Structure 1
Amino acid sequence: MWPLDPSRKEVLRFAVICRVLTLMLQVLTRFLGSSTPVVYWFPAHLLQDQEPLLRSLEMVSWKPGAEDFPPGQKVPRNSIMGLLYNWKTCSPVTRYILGYFLTYWLLGLLLHCNFLPWT
């Protein structure tokens, strides 16, 4: 093998360190995201405490049907879709949480399909 000059050694060392750190970050976030429900419990707790739309759905004992909504409005099938449909009336905490998860989902979808590293 040919001898490596100092600049090539530094470039190789830097590339190896960057790859190891990237790999560790991806593996750690995958482990934390898939095996730790606390990551999802905390935003759910904030949504339950801070969002008046979710509290109003908890108090209603009946399940809303298509006849309860105006003709042009979609009927939400779950509470998250209801929050997304009523984005402008949501509290800022709800907007930040939903925005974070939607951005994470969209970036992951776009980057993963283009073979870029995303966890």
Structure 2
Amino acid sequence: MKLMNRRDPYVREVIWFAVCCRALALVLQVVTRFLGSSTPVLYWFSAHLLQDYEPWLWKEEAATQTEASLSEKFNVGSFCPGSFRKGISGNPIVRLLLNWRISSPVTKCILGYFLSYWLLGLILHCNFLPWT
């Protein structure tokens, strides 16, 4: 018994639909790669929102307060080298992640988006699934 009859009139439509869907998926993947890697508008807009909703992040005192609060909560030097403690004050993303509970909902949404995009991309790419 043959699985597909060559005289079936719908074979062309099914093949045409499959080709169009694949072409659309390919175009969308390439466009999102180009937009994500070559245009910094998404990152500028996210940084602008973070500046508006997290003013404590950009103050110079925030770095020393974060480092002091970390050393009070737990001994950072016990499981990290001494240079890591200095790196916390220089990286605003780490400060945002460490102060997750006091962050605004907008900041949580921005960080959640970027972290989920990164994690989902890591999982799908390692399993040879299409991800941009």
For the 8 Å contact 2:124–2:130, the answer to whether it is kept is: yes
**Quick check: which has more Rg, 1 or 2?**
2
Shift of 1:25: 0.2
Counterpart CA distance in 1 for 2:93 and 2:14 is 48
Equivalent residue pairs, number: 115
For the 8 Å contact 2:66–2:95, the answer to whether it is kept is: no
- Find 2:18's aligned residue among 12, 15, 35: 15
Q: Structure 1's 66 and 59: CA in aligned 2 closer, same or farther, altered over 3 A?
A: closer
Report matched runs for 1:52-91 at 5 Å. Answer: 52-55=55-58, 58-60=59-61, 64=64, 68=68, 69-70=71-72, 72=74, 74=76, 75=85, 76-77=88-89, 78-91=91-104
Q: Which has the higher helix share?
A: 2
- Unaligned ranges ≥5, structure 1: none
Q: Identity rate of aligned residues, in percent? A: 59
Shift of 1:63: 5.3
2:129 maps to amino acid: L
Shift of 1:5: 2.6
Counterpart CA distance in 1 for 2:117 and 2:93 is 16
Q: Structure 1's 39 and 4: CA in aligned 2 closer, same or farther, altered over 3 A?
A: farther
Match of 2:33 in 1: 30
